[in-house]
Amino acid sequence: MKTIAPFSLFIYMLLLSAYSFSETDSLLIQNNIPNWVKPVLEKSEIAQKHQILTDFNPFYFEADFTGDGQVDIAFFVENKIDKTRGVMIVNNVKNLVYVIGCGTSTDMGTSLSWTKRWFIYRNKYIMNDGDKKKISLKLPAIQLIRSDTNSLVIYWTGKKYKTFLQQS
């Protein structure tokens, strides 16, 4: 049986106090996210303003979203102040935190609370049948499903994250 050293227990409790999760959510998050993410979330002012949600299964994704050769992590989150929802992506190499939605504009509004499901999008293109717009993708992206005909794709341009409304 593994025991927690007093200092490790202190750090664990400090991390938990930084977020307002239920006890079950806190344990789920603490026990399942990669170790490299924990100090980034603890130090980031952006992360401190958002609560990781465990509503979806899986509650996070890992993929190299930025093409730097390292796995990044994406969470579905809620802004603690205005309760808007979105996606928080933590970059593994630069330890940067990006939030899409949660009060910032996307191609489908400022809150992504309409999301029914989400997936890693690995197709080479994203298209909008309505205006015949097509974008090439070199990296995995995140697809948020609203309906059978409506979704939002979050992708890395090489410099920043952008969103694309996908309609069929």
Tens digit of pLDDT at every position of the chain (168 positions): 444 444 444 444 444 444 444 566 778 888 889 999 999 999 999 999 999 999 888 999 999 999 999 999 999 999 999 999 999 999 999 999 999 999 999 999 999 999 999 999 999 999 887 778 889 999 999 999 999 999 999 999 999 999 999 987
Residue 152 to residue 142: CA distance in whole angstroms: 8
Angle between helices 6-17 and 23-32 (to 10 degrees): 120
Residue owning tokens 């205005």: 82
pTM (2 decimals)? 0.83
